Amino acid sequence: MHTPPCTALAPAVTPARPLPARPRLLRLALVLACAGALGACENMSERQRGTATGAGVGAVAGAVIGSATGGKAGQSAVIGGALGAVVGNLWSKRMEDKREAVAQAAAGTGVEVVRTPNNELMVNVPADFSFDVGQAAIKPAMRPVLDQFAQGLDANMQVRVVGHTDSTGGDAINQPLSVERAASVRDYLAGRGVNTGRIAISGRGAAEPVADNNTDAGRAQNRRVQIFLRDNAG
């Protein structure tokens, strides 16, 4: 008996179909997000990096939300990118200018001047530059940094000062000493024209060490004062 070829048993090959419009637009939104992340290069300022990254993340969020709710993903990506750029740019130009000015005044001193994840300017002043051991009086070397920090602060800018100590001496000594150090910074800034109503102070004693209190070097790092600046106008 003649057996017919088995070609009829072979599975049918379905030709590839193009992606629907929404997945293609979502993929485009992901590309925009990557472009925003790549835009945060070393040649950009803090403010520019925030804008680029925010735009990319906003584009993805807008496209996903638009697709899930039945809207046009492409339009949602554009709107989300614009909103993301605004959110990413909460670090204003004047905050970046302030960071650069304070960093320049603190160059070579060991004082750390950085932008925090929640868009505050933080000035971390080590003990060997700010206060003598067991004392709350500001050292002369710290004054130029505080002078620059105080310049141009308006009613929208809020200041927090947090004092810290090492673990020697016990809480009965360390806690009030940390508050006294924060108060010294507040009083100095007030003398440079900053309204005390816009300066909040607190002391953490030895509760928040950043280094090992069992070594001299570690204790020196833990004795510090941190000054935070927030621009509420953003």
pLDDT band at 77 (very low <50, low <70, confident <90, very high): low
Question: DSSP class of residue 197?
Answer: G
pLDDT tens, residue by residue, 163-217: 999 999 899 999 999 999 999 999 999 999 999 999 999 999 999 999 999 999 9
Give pTM, 2 decimals.
0.65
Closest C-alpha to 167, from 128, 121, 124, 220: 220
E strand segments, 78-153: 112-115, 121-126
Which region among 2-6, 54-58, 180-184 has the lowest average model confidence (pLDDT)? Answer: 54-58
Could you say which DSSP state residue 198 is in? G
131-148 residue pLDDT tens: 888 889 999 989 999 999
- Look up tokens 């637009």; give the residue: 25
Query: In which band, very low, low, confident or very high, does the pLDDT at 98 lie, cut at 50, 70 and 90?
Result: very high
Chain-centroid distance of CA 229 in Å reads 12
Every domain of the chain and the residues it spans: 21-88, 93-231
**What are the φ and ψ backbone dihedral angles of 71, each rounded to 5 degrees?**
-85, 180
Give which of 135, 108, 110 is closest to 123, Cα–Cα. Answer: 110
Is domain 93-231 in CATH 3.40.50.720, yes or no?
no
- What six digits make up the tokens of 151? 């310049």
DSSP 154: -
Res 40: pLDDT: 47
